[in-house]
Amino acid sequence: MSTLQLHSAPTSSSSFAPISTSRFFQTSRVSLRNAVRCKAIEAVQLENGRPSASEFVVSGNAIPSYVVAPNARIRDLVHRSDTRLRIFSGTANPALSQEIACYLGLELGKIKIKRFADGEIYVQLQESVRGCDVFLVQPTCPPANENLMELLIMIDACRRASAKNITAVIPYFGYARADRKTQGRESIAAKLVANLITEAGANRVLACDLHSGQSMGYFDIPVDHVYGQPVILDYLASKTICSDDLVVVSPDVGGVARARAFAKKLSDAPLAIVDKRRHGHNVAEVMNLIGDVRGKVAVMVDDMIDTAGTIAKGAALLHQEGAREVYACTTHAVFSPPAIERLSSGLFQEVIITNTIPVAEQNYFPQLTVLSVANLLGETVWRVHDDCSGGIEPYSSLGID
């Protein structure tokens, strides 16, 4: 197993002009030794992807010395208050959970998660949570059904242990794409999953970049919807590109609102839209381009990359229309086959993602940059716990009320 080593190399050789945006989020660059060279921003030396052991015990006893130091303001507030804040991690993304805990200056709660021979999941909290404000960090990324069931059992364990409040922190919300009926006799799985989480005993949900905002309405409990956009914008601001050379591209008509908001933050850059026709799930056919990209640096913005069919065909069209460079920016890297082959084929100057979903070691490639959303989620967790608003700069883009 290769390890992640910190280094402070320049982020890119491209030339971006200063872009006006908040510089709140700290990042660190790491690379894989004895493996393909890539650019990633992660802080915790844990195995990417799901743990291979049949039994997984999460504990915060040993926090790596090179992790980003916890925010001093948050640390002081946590230790000055009642300290009844508890953070537990599922097995889906323990590295992100550890980073969130480090940002808050806390240790991860001790929890035992075991899978029996027949696949059944066993969860036992290893410490008392009676009267505590509990946050369970568990994205429902692939394998989606196992991770979802694990989250439900974790919620049930906390409820039966008399936790005062239970917040399901879901950096990536699976089934979010099944949020409406496009054909007859289809299920709306996003609503079903919302009901399951609510009935399991969650009092609140914290999600990052839902596929569509309407999914918040499927929950009968409060939902804090935060966006990974500030993290990506902050990274792009560290580059220098002439704003006159920049164009933001939506890979489909459904993502126009997201791309428009992104373009506004990038010095109000012009917008282009890729028009596509979809003939089936995970199958896309690009038809034409709305807007001018000739001689421009195109930044494609989407909420997730699954098989990369949409964004790869869009990038090919942009090159065909004369784009000088193409960057892909997305929050959730699902990376279902053959995504890696498409993304590493030379169409993209850089593929910028976040760590809401862990990236398996074999899925790293030279153009990949991974940004951490731990500070964003950690700040939101504290504000939810402390009953604070999200409307104070520089946190006005957190998306919490």
Render pLDDT for 23-67 as a digit per residue (tens, 0 to 9): 334 443 333 333 344 444 443 333 333 333 344 454 444 444 434
Render pLDDT for 86-140 as a digit per residue (tens, 0 to 9): 999 999 999 999 999 999 999 999 999 999 999 999 999 999 999 999 999 999 9
108 vs 57: CA distance, rounded Å: 11
70 vs 93: CA distance, rounded Å: 19
Residues 6+ apart with CB under 8 A from 144: 174, 175
Q: Residue 80: what residue type?
A: R
**Is 347:326 a contact under the CB 8 Å cutoff?**
yes
Question: Which of 136, 155, 132 shows the shortest CA–CA distance to 85?
Answer: 132
Question: Which of 97, 101, 48, 93 shows the shortest CA–CA distance to 70?
Answer: 101
- Whether residue 143 is preceded by a cis peptide bond, meaning omega within 30 degrees of 0, is yes
271 vs 249: CA distance, rounded Å: 6
173 vs 360: CA distance, rounded Å: 19
Domains of the chain by residue range: 72-225+376-387, 227-356
Task: Give the model's pLDDT for residue 44.
Answer: 37
- In CATH terms, are 72-225+376-387 and 227-356 the same topology? yes
Residue in the structure block whose two tokens are 């089936």: 280
**Is 376:159 a contact under the CB 8 Å cutoff?**
no
User: Quick one: fold of 72-225+376-387?
Assistant: Rossmann fold (3.40.50)
- Tallying the residues shown for the chain, one arrives at 401
Q: DSSP readout, 237-273?
A: HTS-E-GGGEEEEESSGGGHHHHHHHHHHTTT--EEE
Distances (CA, A) of 235 to 43, 300, 331, 347, 388: 16, 15, 13, 21, 27
- Burial (Cβ within 10 Å: 0-12, 13-18, ≥19) of residue 52: exposed
Q: Which CATH class is domain 227-356?
A: alpha beta
Render pLDDT for 241-255 as a digit per residue (tens, 0 to 9): 778 889 999 998 888
- Burial (Cβ within 10 Å: 0-12, 13-18, ≥19) of residue 120: exposed
Task: Give the model's pLDDT for residue 173.
Answer: 95
Whole-model pTM?
Answer: 0.79
163 vs 84: CA distance, rounded Å: 10
Distances (CA, A) of 93 to 8, 70, 136, 354: 25, 19, 11, 12
Q: Considering only 63-72, 148-157, 319-328, which range has the smallest mean pLDDT?
A: 63-72
Average pLDDT for 143-171: 97
